[in-house]
Structure 1
C-alpha cells in the first residue's frame, strides 16, 4: 500500500514537473524569438518605408490624395523602369546569396518545416529583408507577410540550431518566428498565432506549437506597438449587419470569392512556372516581371505597391465604382508577375486588396440590382478581405481573426464565418501555398486515401478483407506493471517509436511513445508504466473489415491501429505501410 501511494505521489510530482518544465522552456524560447521578431519587424518596416520614399516618392513622384483618393505621378514614364530596377536588385541579391528566398517567403518557411526539419540558413532573414525592400519600395505588387515570416522563422531556426534542440523543437521555434513577425507588423497577435499553426496544412493545425506561437506573437506585438502605437492598420467607421436581409448576400459573396481565389492562384502559378521554364539567368527574371508589373502599374496605378492605401480609401467610400471592378483584375496580374517571376514579397497584402475590392464591387453591384437593400460597402470590403485569403491561403480561422484585428470589425464575425466557410469549401484544395500538406501525418495518409479511392472504384471486394489477414504480429509489447527503466532497456533493442501496452492478462490498454519514456526516465525511472499517461489508440477486432479500418484511420488522422481477439487481447498491428502493401499486392496479383 505504501509503495502504491509513493508511486501515486511520484506520478503527480512528475506530471507537475513536466508541465512546469514545458512552461519555463517555451516561455523563455518563444519570448526570445518574439523579441527578435519584434525588433526585426521595426527594422524591416523602416527599410521598406525608406525604399518606398526613395523609389516611389522621390524618383517617380507618386502621391495618393487621402481626401479625394486621386493618384498623382509626376514622372509616370519611369514606372516600368523603376519597378524593373527594383526587380533586378532583388534578383541579384536573392539568387547570389540565398536562392531559397525567392518568391513569397511563407511558402519557403512551410517547406523548411515539412522537408528540411526546420533548418533555415542564418543569412536568409537579412537577404529576404533587403531584397523585399527593393521589390516593395520600387512599386512591385507584393506584401510584407512572407518576408517578415521568413525573417522571424530564420531566427527561430538559428536559435534552435545554436541550442542543439531536437528537430521537433526547432520546427516549433520556426513557427514562433512566423507568429512573431506577422503578429507585430500587422498588429494582429492573436490572428498571427493562429495563422502560424494553420498555414502549414490544408486541413489541419500544428497543435503543439499553439502556446509558444501565442507567446512569441504577443511579445513581438508589444515591442512593435511600443514604437508605432496600437491603432488598427485600417480605420473603420460605423458598420452594421442585418442578418435577415444581408446573410444571403454574404453567402453569395463567399461563392464569388471562392471562384476568384481559384482564378488568382491559377494565374499566379501559370506565370510562376512560365518564368521557371524561361531559359535565362534567374537573376534577371524578377527584372522582366518587374517591368511587366510596371507597365500594368502605368495603366492602373492602384496596382503599385502593397495597395493598403486603396483599401482605406474604399472603406471611406472614396473610390470610383470602376476602380472596384478593374483593380482586382490587374492586381492579380501585377502580383503574379512581381512575385511569380522570382521577386521577393508576400501574397497576403495583395490578397487583401483583391478580396476587399471584390467585396466592395459586389456590394455596390447588388445595390444597383436591388435598390431597396442598401448594403454596407465597408462591411463587404472587410468580409471580402477575410474570405478571399481564407480561400487562397487555406487559413479560414486566421483570416477572420487577423482582418478583425487589423480593422476592428469584430461585429462582423457571423457573416465572416459564413462567407469564409463558403469560399474555403468552393476553392477546395487549390492553395497559394503549394508546400502545404493535407494533414500532420502528411503524404502517407494522403497516399492511403488515394489508393483507397482507386480500390473503391476498381476492386471494392478487397476492402472486405478482415483485419487478421493484413495485420502483423507485434514484436515489442510492454506490460503496464513494468518499470520505466526496464521498459527503456527492452525498447532499446528495436527501432520503433510507438509501443503497445497490455495488462497482466494480455488485454490491450493503449500505447506509449519512445520520447515519453525517455522524458519520464529522467525523473522517475522506478515508476510503473500504469502511472504514466497512456494513449488509448484505435483498437479493432480481428474480424473488422479493411474498409472500416481505413475510414477510421483517415477520420482520426492516425497511421497505425491495434488488433485484438474476441477477448480484447492484443494480437496484431496494422500500419499504413501494411495496408498499402496488401492492396498493392492484391491489385497486382
Structure 2
C-alpha cells in the first residue's frame, strides 16, 4: 500500500460515537455498496422548475398590469401637477404654462417622496436596481413587501411632478419586489426566490418597453449572476408573458419609432466603434459625477428626508429653461434617433438633462436611470454624427444611427450590461441596420469603461457598503473535471479478513499513512464493504483476534470515479467530511482511491496555471491602475 502523507484535509470520515441523525451500524458481515452514501447526479433541470416557471408566468402577467398602472399613475400626477386636470391620458409636462411656478412642482414632489422614504421605507430612494442587487447578494433575495406598492407610488409622484427619470427603473424594482414577496409567501429556496425576483424585474422591463429579450439579458447580467436553464427558463417566460400584456394594450409597435436607415459601410462602421469608445469615456465621467453629487448631499447639514426637495429645486429651475427635461422624456429619445432635433437643440437637451437628472438622482429621490442615460448618450451620439457629416460626408455617417449607438453605448459603459444594451436598442427601434454598429460601439464603450472604472453606476453604491458584486460568469471548472482525474490512487485501506491486533500494531507504529481517523474496508475480492473509525479499532473492549469484518462498519461515503469534482465537493460539504472513497462506476465497484479537499484545491491549481500573468503584464497592469 502506498503511503499517504498527513494532510489537514484528511478529516474523520465518521465519528463512531452515537449522535442525533448518525448512520446506524451495519451488520457484522459488512454492507453492500448499494447502501453507501452517494452524491446525487445533477440534472439539467428538475421537475421543480415547472412550478417556478408557472409562478414566473403569473408574475410576468402581474408585472404587465402593474406597468400599465404605474404609467397611468404617472400620467395622472402629471396632469394634476402641470395642468390641474384629473386625467390618465398621456401628456408631456413640457407644454405647461405655469411660468415660474413650474419650479415649485418638483420641490413638492420631492417633499412627498422624502416623507414616504422617512416613514415608509428608505429602500424606495434611488433607481431600485442596486437595492435589488444587494438583496440578491446578501439577503437571500428578500425584499420587504411594502416596497411592492411604495416604490411605484413614490416614483409616480417623483416622475409625475417633473422628475427627469424613466418609469423602467421603478417598475423593474416593483416587479422584483413582487417576485421576492411571492417567494417569501411560497417558502421557496433562496435560489428560487432569486429567480422569481429576476422574473418580476424582467417582466417589468418587458412590459414598459416591449423588449422581452433584452429584459432577460439584463436580469442575467445584473440580478441572476448566472446563466443556467433552471433560472433562464422562468425569467424568459415571465418576460414573454409581460410583453404579451403590453402587446394586448398597445400593440407591437416599437417604443422609439425610427425611420428606415441604410446599412453602414466599412468607414462608417469604424467611426461608430470609435464613437462608442468616446461615449464609454463619457459614461465613466457621468458615473463619477453622479456619485460625486451624491457624496455632496451626504455632507449637507440637513436630514436626508429633505434632499429630494432640494434636488427638486434644480429640476424645477432646469425645467423652466428647458421644459423637455421634465418627465420621462421617451419622446425625446424617439426624436433623437429619428433625426428630428437640430444640433443646437441636441446640445442644449444633453447638457440640461444631465444637470437635472444627476442632481435629482444624487438627492436620493425615486426614479430610473435608463431613459436619462439614453437621452444623454443619444444626444451626444447624434451631435457627433452631425459633426462628422459636416466635416467628412464621404464617410457615410448617419446621425440617426450615431444617436442610436450613443444611446446604447452610454448605458453599456455605465452599467456594463453589454448585451442587454445592444439588444435593447435593437428591440425598441426594430432597426436591423443598426445592429452591427450597436455591437461594435457598445463593445468599445464596455472596454473603455472596464479599463478605467472598477465599479459601475449600478454597483458603486453597494460596493461602498462592502458588497462584492460578481462581474464575470464562467463555466464551473470543477464541473469539467472528473473525480478519476484528481483523486489519489492506492489509498490506505483495511481488509475484512485482517485481525484487529495486526491493524492496531500498524496504527501505533507512528507511520503517517495510519494517522487518519477513518479507513475504508474492502473484502478479499476488492469490494468496498464500509468504513471503520480509528476509535472503533482502538476500543479496548474488542479482542485482538477479532476480524475487521466482524466489527461494526458504517455505510461508506463514496463517490464514483465518473462524478464531477463539483458533485464531490458538494457531497463533502453536505456530509461535513474532508475525504471521500472513490469507487469504480461499474459493478463490482472496486476501490479506486481517495479524494480529499486538497485534491480539489490541486485541481484549481492546474486551472490557475493557464491564467498566470507574466511579470511584464503585471507591471503594465499596475502602472495602468496607478495612473487611471
Normalised by the length of structure 2, the TM-score is 0.68
Q: Indicate the residue corresponding to 1:566 in structure 2.
A: none
- Asked if the contact 2:140–2:190 (Cα under 8 Å) also holds between the matched residues in 1, the reply is yes
Task: Describe the SS at the equivalent of 2:565.
Answer: strand
CA distance in 2 between partners of 1:513 and 1:436 (Å):
37
- The more displaced of 73-82 and 91-100 is 73-82
CA distance in 2 between partners of 1:34 and 1:346 (Å):
20
Task: Describe the SS at the equivalent of 1:237.
Answer: coil
1:178 aligns to 2:226 (yes or no) = no
- Asked if the contact 1:268–1:333 (Cα under 8 Å) also holds between the matched residues in 2, the reply is no
CA distance in 1 between partners of 2:159 and 2:419 (Å):
27
Q: Indicate the residue corresponding to 2:307 in structure 1.
A: 285
Alignment of 1:207-286 (within 5 A): 207=228, 208-286=230-308
State the shift of 1:155 in Å.
1.1
State the shift of 1:355 in Å.
1.1
CA distance in 1 between partners of 2:351 and 2:295 (Å):
20
Q: Indicate the residue corresponding to 2:70 in structure 1.
A: 44
CA distance in 2 between partners of 1:181 and 1:305 (Å):
19
Aligned match of 2:187 in 131, 156, 164?
164
- Asked if the contact 1:286–1:343 (Cα under 8 Å) also holds between the matched residues in 2, the reply is yes
Alignment of 1:288-367 (within 5 A): 288-367=310-389
Q: 1:502 to 1:146 in 2, by over 3 A?
A: same
CA distance in 1 between partners of 2:78 and 2:516 (Å):
64
Q: 1:321 to 1:477 in 2, by over 3 A?
A: farther
Q: Indicate the residue corresponding to 2:619 in structure 1.
A: none
1:512 aligns to 2:512 (yes or no) = no
Name the structure where helix makes up a greater proportion of residues: 1
CA distance in 1 between partners of 2:195 and 2:188 (Å):
10
CA distance in 2 between partners of 1:50 and 1:72 (Å):
15
- Asked if the contact 2:337–2:403 (Cα under 8 Å) also holds between the matched residues in 1, the reply is yes
1:410 aligns to 2:432 (yes or no) = yes
Q: Indicate the residue corresponding to 1:75 in structure 2.
A: 98
Query: For 1:521-556, what per-residue CA distance to the aligned partner results, in whole angstroms no more than 9, with x for missing partners?
Result: xxxxxxx9959xxxxx9999899899865466899x
CA distance in 2 between partners of 1:316 and 1:476 (Å):
74
Q: Indicate the residue corresponding to 2:457 in structure 1.
A: 432
- Asked if the contact 1:501–1:510 (Cα under 8 Å) also holds between the matched residues in 2, the reply is no
Aligned match of 1:149 in 172, 179, 185?
172
- Asked if the contact 1:179–1:217 (Cα under 8 Å) also holds between the matched residues in 2, the reply is yes
State the shift of 1:347 in Å.
0.3
State the shift of 1:209 in Å.
2.3
Normalised by the length of structure 1, the TM-score is 0.72
Q: 1:477 to 1:330 in 2, by over 3 A?
A: farther
State the shift of 1:516 in Å.
8.0
Greater gyration radius: 2
Q: 1:252 to 1:213 in 2, by over 3 A?
A: same
CA distance in 2 between partners of 1:200 and 1:134 (Å):
26
Q: Indicate the residue corresponding to 2:155 in structure 1.
A: 132
Which runs of 5 or more structure 1 residues have no equivalent in the other structure?
1-6, 447-472, 488-498, 520-527, 532-536, 556-589
Query: For 1:482-534, what per-residue CA distance to the aligned partner results, in whole angstroms no more than 9, with x for missing partners?
Result: x9xx99xxxxxxxxxxx99464xxx9963416878999xxxxxxxx9959xxx
Q: 1:304 to 1:477 in 2, by over 3 A?
A: farther
- Asked if the contact 1:477–1:501 (Cα under 8 Å) also holds between the matched residues in 2, the reply is no
Q: Indicate the residue corresponding to 2:79 in structure 1.
A: 53
Query: For 1:24-57, what per-residue CA distance to the aligned partner results, in whole angstroms no more than 9, with x for missing partners?
Result: 1232121122122112111111111111222234
1:108 aligns to 2:163 (yes or no) = no
Aligned Cα RMSD in Å? 4.2
Q: 1:130 to 1:242 in 2, by over 3 A?
A: same
State the shift of 1:282 in Å.
2.0
Aligned match of 1:195 in 218, 243, 255?
218
Q: Indicate the residue corresponding to 1:450 in structure 2.
A: none
CA distance in 2 between partners of 1:416 and 1:500 (Å):
52
Query: For 1:62-107, what per-residue CA distance to the aligned partner results, in whole angstroms no more than 9, with x for missing partners?
Result: x9999xxx96442231221111111111111122101111011111
